[in-house]
Chains A and B, each alone.
Chain A
Amino acid sequence: MKVYLDNSATTAMAPEVIEAMLPYFSDEMGNAQSVHSFGQRAKSAIEKARRQVAALINASPTEVVFVSGGTEADNLAIRGIADAHRDRGHHIITTRIEHPAVLRTCEALEANGFRVTYLPVSRNGLVDPDGLRRAITAETILITVMLANNETGTIQPVEEIARVVSEARSSGLAYLNLHTDAVQAVAKTPIDVKTIGVDLLSISAHKFHGPKGIGALYVRKGTRIAKLLHGGHHERDRRAGTENVPAIVGFGKAAEMARAQLDERMARMRDLRDYLERQVNSLVSNVAVNGDQERRVPNISNMSFVGVDGESLLIALDLKGIAVSTGSACASGSLEPSHVLQAMGLAREEVRGSLRFSLGAYTTREEIDYALSNLVETITRLRAMAPADELETAHSI
């Protein structure tokens, strides 16, 4: 049996998505910039997809910029604001638990004269909006805080942060912008950009049964960003390059399905995730669920199995056809643990024994049961293999 519980890494495309894409690889191969009918049909397919994606987050279609994925969306948001507003200030605020697409982009800007504040998080992985308020200076042009964390699923208080930003703007910081990386949140929780109050929001299609290599940046009307890619006037002059029509069409279909099925998918994934955690808790000792248990997306469970190495568990489960992921890896004799769990202040043993299970819209109860029985068997075996005093020692850390 093959059980894929790594849907936060990527998902299988929905059959309907593949079907919607197929004509655009062959008969409908037009370049959307072309004036002839082939081009115009491609153009109209892109605009339909733009409306579908916009509807998923309650944006206007003109506020949706198609890009190559979550990483480009984050880069465009952060670099785009930094470049457009560098005459207004050189300070950016973010958190220690962001995705590398945000962290590395901020670091690149630091090498370019920007100052970046990396906010800490609480033990359950949440950013404190008051701490963020105190970090704002007259020089701050961008705040970027992820909506749902990719390792723990914890949902950040972005709405509250938006209120802080709005207050700061009223008190004179007219050039302050708010970006959120919503790659793990879209299709896992209802998102209304107007309610959340962000200026920029990153989306990736392949995290919710759409194709890889396509994503979008929501850019609120009136938000000024510089472009990363120069060339033609595609995407209302915000992103040059011939549009990836099949991927955009697939993205649109995936967004339409996610919107129509959101409540049903969320309930289903939450039930299965909670079942997994309940069973693990009753069958395995020395286990902890990481991250805030209330404020989180319904498809992620990050658990620490004390006394076991996450990667060893991963390999053993992989042999049984079960795919999960771990944030920590040891290389060259040094443990390079998950920056997220570290920022949350977890003990070394908890970080080391951490595993992420992430469900998709198509995960079944049978798959969870298969994963559970193998997980219990594997943990038992690996713990039995460990020196006798290991668990005890680990537990006392």
Chain B
Amino acid sequence: MYSPQVAEHIANPRNAGELDRPSGIGDVTNEVCLDRIRLTIRIEDQKLVEAKVKASGCPPTIAAASVLTELIIGRSIQELSLLTRKDVIDALGHLPPAKSHCAVLAIDALRSAIGGPR
């Protein structure tokens, strides 16, 4: 059902936690299933230098949150704005079609975080 990558991220989530005084916070919840991702990022010179994430919910949500941090650290704001849910899904191998909304939630967290602190 789930790819080995999804399972591996569940076992070893990357960059789990929360940054002190981040430059941006993206805290998004899927109101239907209550899955939640809270992303904190630090931007320096138009570049994302540090990210930490917390997540709760079904396996793809936690895996998407985890893999998102790998996809965004070291990228420029310009590059981040081009990132889509497909990049998240590809990085996880695949997601069952009914679970692609978990990748959407991760991208929503990123967009919200880039938008600035709330």
Contact = CB atoms under 8 A, between A and B. Distances in A.
A332 B7 CA distance: 20
Given A334-B32, A385-B13, A315 B59 contact: yes
A385 B58 contact: no
B30 interface: yes
A386 interface: yes
A335 B33 contact: yes
B10 interface: yes
A129 to B, nearest CB: 36
B6 interface: yes
B35 A386 contact: no
B42 interface: no
Nearest to B96: A331
A335 B34 contact: yes
A341 to B, nearest CB: 15
Contact of A330 (B10, B55, B56, B58): B58
Interface string A356-393: 00000000000000000000000001101111101000
Interface size, B (range): 20 to 34
B33 A312 contact: no
B6 A309 contact: no
Interface in A238-255: none
Contacts of A153: none
B56 A385 contact: yes
B13 A333 contact: no
B103 to A, nearest CB: 12
Contacts of A335: 32-34
Contacts of B7: 315, 318-319
A387 B56 contact: yes
B33 A330 contact: yes
Interface residues of A, number: 27
Interface string B45-87: 0000000001111110110000000000000000000000000
A307 B56 contact: yes
B32 A390 contact: no
A316 interface: yes
B36 A387 contact: yes
Given A330-B33, A330-B35, A315 B27 contact: no
Given A312-B58, A312-B59, A332 B98 contact: yes
Contacts of A307: 56
Residue with the greatest number of chain B CB neighbours at <10 A, chosen from A307, A335, A349: A335
B54 A388 contact: yes
A206 interface: no
A307 B34 CA distance: 11
B54 A387 contact: yes
B16 interface: yes
B11 A316 contact: yes
A79 interface: no
Residue with the greatest number of chain A CB neighbours at <10 A, chosen from B32, B34, B101: B34
Contacts of A315: 2, 6-7, 10, 59
Given A315-B59, A352-B34, 19 more contacts: A307-B56, A309-B35, A309-B56, A309-B57, A309-B62, A315-B2, A316-B10, A319-B7, A330-B58, A331-B98, A331-B99, A333-B30, A348-B34, A385-B54, A385-B55, A385-B62, A386-B54, A386-B55, A390-B56
Question: What 7 A-B pairs have minimum CB-CB distances, sorted nearest first?
Answer: A386-B56, A331-B98, A387-B38, A333-B101, A387-B54, A330-B33, A332-B98
23 contacts: A308-B56, A309-B35, A309-B56, A309-B57, A309-B62, A312-B62, A315-B6, A315-B59, A316-B11, A318-B7, A329-B58, A330-B35, A330-B99, A331-B99, A333-B30, A333-B32, A333-B33, A335-B33, A385-B16, A385-B54, A387-B55, A387-B56, A390-B36
